[in-house]
Amino acid sequence: MESMEKLSKVNIVYTNKLNEKILKKENVLVIYDQFLNHFPDVKKFISKYTNYPVDAGEELKNIEHFAGHIKNILNLTAEFSVSDMTILAIGGGTVGDFSGFVASVFKRGVKLIHVPSTWLSAIDSAHGGKTALNVPPSKNQIGTFYQAQKIIIIKELLFSQPPERSFDALGELLKILLLCGTQSKWAQFFKNKIKNKNQLLWDNLPWAISSKYKIVKKDPFEKSGLRQILNLGHTLGHVLELEWSMSHGVAVQQGLCFALNWSLQNKLMTKKTHHLIFDVFTKFEIHQKLDQISLKNTESILLKDKKNLGNSKVNFIFLKSFGKVIREPVKISDLVIEMRRQGYKFT
Ligand SMILES: NC(=O)c1ccc[n+]([C@@H]2O[C@H](COP(=O)([O-])OP(=O)(O)OC[C@H]3O[C@@H](n4cnc5c(N)ncnc54)[C@H](O)[C@@H]3O)[C@@H](O)[C@H]2O)c1
């Protein structure tokens, strides 16, 4: 709670390289994605700290492994001063969600710093203070609001990612543009030929991050519901992420296509706006995949959605036009009918 009150003081640092001047060595535990051992600079940096390597991925967030992780972390930090302890999380969204949760509950809360290593985490998940664990088969059922004191964005680390990671993050970037941008910003943004997605993401990172904070600050604990608009594309996105084992970012792209098509179908969005948006999706090779999906699992995942209102209804985020959203309760059965209409094949 206290950490979220510090939202206005979040410190975002942009730097080229990961270096030891970032913070002191004592009482710091680095929780990091061990894939990053491939990067000599990161490996060298981490070796100077007490560190806890983890495998990135949804399994890291699985609550069933949590007690084991905490026992390991207790052993590693036995000599630490708790009042001065900091967890430095280096990795993508799964490492950030996991480490944030650890920081919020370990000895009733220790300081937290994020070093996002994927575009998705740099644009989205490292900001806003949501932490999460999964209770299989559902995602993010356990969590806290716990804002990091600092988020350090390292250009070299982000640019080292393969193309699939930048493609992943496009969904979250497009989402924030639809939520907070204007038609002219949309047109301007995509006017030029797309040469380098890394550069495109980097150039738009500060705007995307500050746009997210503007929404989060109005409803830091998701009490008024305003913050829920950030879930545009996520209702179906989470279903597909679980059912089709898609990356979070690609599933959100799919969820966005569905939400925008439904907005058009419900006559909330004009054909012209729909066209403008999908032109850009096509340019980025974002296409709706309409494979088979289990009806039973779809309904059961939707029932566990955090936007579930009871009575088999969820709050769904529709888009009217750029910067104009409508949050509306929909019946899960109507969502399923719309999925069928759009071409999903239920088994
Ligand atoms: N807390 C929030 O507000 C929030 C918001 C959005 C998403 N999320 C969560 O974030 C997670 C998805 O994030 P993610 O896609 O970053 O997942 P991730 O942490 O699993 O990373 C994806 C992959 O990228 C690899 N990777 C990490 N850094 C790399 C680098 N520099 N170069 C190459 N590969 C690298 C990882 O090893 C992993 O294989 C999901 O669990 C989602 O629920 C949370």
Q: What is the DSSP string of 160-184?
A: TS-HHHHHHHHHHHHHHHHHH--HH
**What are the backbone dihedrals phi and psi of residue 140, each rounded to the nearest 5 degrees, phi first?**
55, 35
For residue 28, list its beta bridge partners: 86
Predicted pLDDT of residue 100:
98
pLDDT tens string 302-331: 988 777 787 889 999 999 999 999 999 999
**Residues above pLDDT 90, as percent of the chain:** 83
pLDDT tens string 77-91: 999 999 999 999 999
State whether the beta carbon of 27 lies less than 6 angstroms from ligand 1: no
Q: Is the pLDDT of residue 119 over 60?
A: yes
State whether the beta carbon of 247 lies less than 6 angstroms from ligand 1: yes
Lowest-confidence pick of 21-30, 68-77, 257-266: 21-30
Cis preceding-peptide flag for 137 (omega within 30 of 0): yes
Q: How far is CA 154 from the centre of its chain?
A: 18
**Residues above pLDDT 70, as percent of the chain:** 96
Residue 4: band (very low, low, confident or very high) from pLDDT cuts 50, 70, 90: low
Tell me how far apart the alpha carbons of residues 52 and 72 are, in angstroms, rounded to a whole number: 8
Of 97, 82, 284, nearest to 172 by C-alpha is 284
Q: Are 317 and 296 in contact (CB under 8 A)?
A: no
Tell me how far apart the alpha carbons of residues 96 and 54 are, in angstroms, rounded to a whole number: 11
Predicted pLDDT of residue 8:
58
Q: Are 151 and 13 in contact (CB under 8 A)?
A: yes
State whether the beta carbon of 241 lies less than 6 angstroms from ligand 1: no
For residue 238, count other CB atoms closer than 10 A to its CB.
23
Q: Is the pLDDT of residue 291 over 70?
A: yes
For residue 185, count other CB atoms closer than 10 A to its CB.
14
State whether the beta carbon of 165 lies less than 6 angstroms from ligand 1: yes
Count how many Cα atoms sit within 13 Å of the Cα of residue 31 in the half-sphere of its side chain.
31
Predicted pLDDT of residue 7:
58
- Alpha helix segments (H runs only) across 115-154: 119-120
pLDDT tens string 61-74: 999 999 999 999 99
State whether the beta carbon of 35 lies less than 6 angstroms from ligand 1: yes
Atom 7, ligand 1: residue with shortest CA distance: 125
Predicted pLDDT of residue 2:
46
Ligand 1 centroid to residue 115 C-alpha, Å: 12
Q: Is the pLDDT of residue 122 over 50?
A: yes
Predicted pLDDT of residue 197:
86
Predicted pLDDT of residue 196:
84
The stretch 7-20 carries a mean pLDDT of: 81
Predicted pLDDT of residue 304:
84
Tell me how far apart the alpha carbons of residues 121 and 114 are, in angstroms, rounded to a whole number: 9
Tell me how far apart the alpha carbons of residues 305 and 320 are, in angstroms, rounded to a whole number: 23
Residue 1: band (very low, low, confident or very high) from pLDDT cuts 50, 70, 90: very low
Residue 347: band (very low, low, confident or very high) from pLDDT cuts 50, 70, 90: very high
Question: Which two three-digit tokens encode residue 204?
Answer: 């738009």
Tell me how far apart the alpha carbons of residues 199 and 204 are, in angstroms, rounded to a whole number: 9
17, 94, 133: residue to mutate for ligand 1 pocket, most atoms within 8 A of CB: 94
Ligand 1 centroid to residue 273 C-alpha, Å: 31
Atom 4, ligand 1: residue with shortest CA distance: 125
Q: H or E segment at 277?
A: helix 271-283
Predicted pLDDT of residue 191:
74
